[in-house]
Amino acid sequence: MAGMQKGPDIPKAPRVSEVSGRRVGWIVLIGIVAVFVLIELAGFRDSVPPRSRTFTAMELLKAEILREAAERDEVPASLDELSLVNDVGEPVLDGWGAPIEYHILEEQGRIALRSRGANAEIGGLAQDQDLVGIFPIWDEAGAWSPGDVKWLVDPLSYHSGDFGRDLP
């Protein structure tokens, strides 16, 4: 391409990885809350499968737990300490109407969230299968994980009927 001149240097937009994790976490949290509000206002609650509602609730909790941890510099001892729960005054429920369980796996540097599924008992298959999500508390550098950190164990992935029985 002889004879072509280089154009003026145009500043590049920041890459997504350059945007602060805290800002991305807030955006994710606001998006998840907006989805919950739209589902409730539009009356679609009964048309959204319970597993999907549970996963959305777990995503919301993950983001809120990590936001609060970074803000206070400690992991909340229970879900009752989250401002999200305190503002509403009720626990965050799974798709079947039961509170989502919160387990701090401190030795592993992880947090586990569990829904006991449709039968509200540990274990089970199909709709009775527990949904267990596990995420890291800290990143590789030892800083608090951002609210949109990937699940180490995805709540929607298939687990055997006994998965999660050993949670405290």
What pLDDT does residue 58 have? 94
Nearest to 133 by CA among 71, 79, 82, 57: 57
- The token duo for 141 is 């550098």
Neighbours of 56 (CB within 10 A): 18
pTM, two decimal places: 0.70
Q: Could you state, in order of their start, the residue ranges of all structural domains in the chain?
A: 20-136
Overall average pLDDT of the 117-125 stretch: 87
- The token duo for 35 is 């989805």
Neighbours of 66 (CB within 10 A): 27
pLDDT digits (tens, 9 = 90+) for 9-36: 555 545 444 455 556 666 766 777 777 6
What pLDDT does residue 5 have? 47
d(CA 22, CA 46) in angstroms, rounded, equals 33
pLDDT at 120 over 70: yes
Q: What percent of the chain has pLDDT over 70?
A: 67
| Higher pLDDT pick, 34 / 138 | 138
